[in-house]
């Protein structure tokens, strides 16, 4: 099925695209048909800079368990970093 | 038999007079033929759906696939364009209908046209094929496992698809529906609801639900591919086109 299940958010980031590093502004998170990952459905993340064109995109497709592990690893790493470092790049 | 064919990327006039990209495949060894609009799935105007478009030409039909994401990302890779379209909330139904109307007009303008045009769509395009059949004078409609034909998509998602079932009384041609018994969107129960609505509206339709198949069983390059169901599905498709638009 096409789940249509989608969330979008703004973010501050940089990503490496085929054109090199560029600023990223938005992310789309969804669970739907992957383009490459060998499964009927996958958790997908598109990190994008809409102002820089459609190719300014870093894409990930992964199974649900990998997505949960990744999300938890991100939160775990962030929880271990001193507070003053977390606000450094803001 | 299979026909000689020619396939090209062209420009057509879509919704609101916009020029959009489209992929046209035509048999080159017939004087007259029926036509079909191919509506791509949510992953976009991709290589696999272009191959499907050429398959129709090889079987003697002029086939045209409009790039429904052309406006979002002209010239972009299909997966990048699909990502932009999703982030923007998907393709609005009215714009889709306008783009398919442009594709129908282009097919009817071809010297080889016999004046008859069908539509086919896969996945999200299955629902869209049914939708355009309700709003445009199409001679036949094929829905391949289109979700959200009888229920709306989740309200909390920014990408929306509204049920089409309330419009089926406007269909002008017969419907072929091809579904997987293991699919949940559309589930066999949902396809029964659609069948009941078509019956109640007095519409001619043929539904096949393939055992052992789930969603997207036609996709030869995906794990969902089910060769027996796809082969039988293609036989149904060409038999249906032969009696409706050939």
Nearest CA in chain A to B91: A4
Which of B86, B185, B222 comes nearest A28 by C-beta? Answer: B86
Domains of chain B and CATH, by start:
5-244 (3.40.50.1820)
What distance in Å separates the CA atoms of residue B97 and residue B95, rounded to the nearest whole number?
Answer: 5
Regarding an ipTM greater than 0.90, the answer is no
Query: Which pair of structure tokens corresponds to residue B151?
Result: 């229920």
Q: Is pLDDT at B97 greater than 90 in this prediction?
A: yes
The 10s digit of each residue's pLDDT in B43-54 is 999 999 999 999
Rounded to 5°, the CA angle A58-A55-B81 comes to: 100
Instruction: Report H helices in chain B.
Output: 47-58, 78-87, 93-109, 124-135, 188-200, 227-244
The answer to which of A3-12, B10-19, B94-103 has the lowest mean pLDDT is: A3-12
- The answer to whether A63 faces chain B, any CB pair under 8 Å, is no
pLDDT confidence of residue A90: 56
Q: What are the per-10-residue average pLDDT scores of chain A (90 residues)?
A: 82 93 96 92 96 95 98 96 80
**In chain B, which among 1-40 make CB contacts under 8 A with chain A?**
none
Closest-CA distance, B63 to chain A, in angstroms, reads 24
pLDDT confidence of residue B57: 98
- Cβ contact B73–A54 (<8 Å): yes
Nearest CA in chain A to B72: A54
What distance in Å separates the CA atoms of residue B104 and residue B153, rounded to the nearest whole number?
Answer: 27
């Amino acid at each position: 099925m096409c789940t249509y299940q989608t969330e979008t958010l703004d973010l501050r980031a940089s990503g490496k695209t085929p054109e090199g590093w560029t600023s990223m502004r938005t992310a789309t998170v969804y669970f739907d048909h992957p383009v490459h990952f060998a499964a009927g459905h996958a958790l997908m993340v598109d990190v994008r800079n809409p102002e820089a064109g459609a190719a300014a995109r870093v894409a990930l497709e992964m199974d649900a368990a990998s997505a949960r592990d990744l999300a938890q690893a991100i939160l775990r790493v962030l929880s271990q970093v001193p507070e003053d470092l977390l606000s450094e790049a803001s | 038999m299979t026909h000689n064919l020619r396939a090209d990327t062209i420009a057509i006039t879509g919704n609101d007079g916009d020029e959009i990209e489209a992929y046209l495949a035509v048999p080159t060894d017939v004087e007259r033929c029926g036509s079909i609009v191919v509506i791509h799935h949510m992953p976009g105007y991709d290589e696999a759906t272009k191959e499907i478009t050429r398959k129709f030409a090889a079987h003697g039909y002029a086939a045209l696939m409009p790039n429904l994401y052309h406006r979002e990302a002209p010239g972009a890779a299909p997966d990048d364009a699909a990502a932009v379209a999703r982030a923007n909330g998907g393709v609005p139904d009215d714009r889709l209908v306008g783009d398919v109307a442009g594709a129908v007009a282009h097919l009817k303008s071809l010297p080889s046209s016999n004046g008859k045009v069908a539509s086919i769509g896969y996945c999200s395009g299955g629902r869209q094929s049914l939708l355009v059949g309700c709003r445009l004078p199409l001679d036949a409609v094929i829905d391949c496992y289109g979700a959200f034909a009888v229920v709306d998509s989740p309200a909390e998602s920014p990408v929306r698809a509204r049920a089409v079932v309330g419009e089926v009384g406007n269909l002008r041609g017969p419907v072929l529906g091809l579904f997987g018994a293991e699919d949940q969107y559309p589930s066999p129960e949902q396809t029964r609801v659609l069948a009941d609505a078509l019956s109640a509206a007095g519409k001619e339709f043929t539904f096949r639900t393939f055992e052992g198949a789930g969603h997207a069983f036609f996709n030869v390059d995906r794990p969902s591919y089910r060769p027996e169901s796809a082969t039988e599905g293609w036989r149904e498709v060409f038999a249906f086109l032969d009696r409706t638009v050939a």
